[in-house]
Chains A and B, each alone.
Chain A
Amino acid sequence: EIVLTQSPATLSLSPGERATLSCRASQSVSSYLAWYQQKPGQAPRLLIYDASNRATGIPARFSGSGSGTDFTLTISSLEPEDFAVYYCQQRSNWFTFGQGTKLEIK
């Protein structure tokens, strides 16, 4: 099973700041990696797929990068609605998720 490790577990930032979230895979997943956002009481929402492609309707402040085992989700300038939990997920070998990064308001 491919294990995805996200860091940090919690990220405390202020609106307007830049957020950088990391996801590391236990073995190469090529570019088969996605990012999801989940707000309390809501279902996850796809943000980024194939490592760097924004899903439909996702604002340009969200970007993804990386390949192989190291991936990054960047939010260029945080809006109040961006504070949530973010999960990475791979589909190179079945489907596994990282444990999540909670982005909280500082």
Chain B
Amino acid sequence: EVQLVESGGDLVKPGGSLRLSCAGSGFTFSNAYMSWVRQAPGKGLEWVGRIKIKTDGGTTDYAAPVKGRFTISRDDSKNTLYLQMNSLKTDDTAVYYCTTHRAGWFDPWGQGTLVTVSS
């Protein structure tokens, strides 16, 4: 069974940094494109960014609101995806989900981890 487990969510002050992790199991992690998607409280879903597999260059892409502040990386030896978030803003408050790309679609998703940016 494919499982994704996020961790690292916390309360952080505006301007601060945080790193989220997502541990994958039940699938060949190194062969999976991975994305982060977030959901602000009571709001809809917003794609944050993606990382490709190493054989496709391992490159990353980001949504405009987070470009230059967030960095996605992966450690295939640990089956773990990361999201480094810097210069956090109150608008970044959300549940952050990691998800795999299956046939190009987000499936499945982790249970999410809550990031709260507040003074």
Contacts and interface: CB of A to CB of B under 8 A. Distances in A.
Interface of A: 32, 34, 36, 42-46, 49-50, 55, 87, 89, 91, 94-100
A99 B45 CA distance: 8
Contacts of B112: 43
A34 B106 CA distance: 9
A87 B44 contact: yes
Interface class of chain B by DSSP: strand
Interface residues of B, number: 20
B44 A97 contact: yes
A95 B37 CA distance: 10
A46 B109 CA distance: 9
Contacts, number: 53
A89 B35 CA distance: 14
Given A34-B106, A87-B45, 18 more contacts: A36-B106, A43-B97, A43-B111, A43-B112, A44-B97, A44-B109, A45-B109, A46-B108, A49-B103, A55-B107, A94-B63, A95-B35, A95-B47, A95-B50, A95-B106, A96-B47, A97-B47, A99-B44
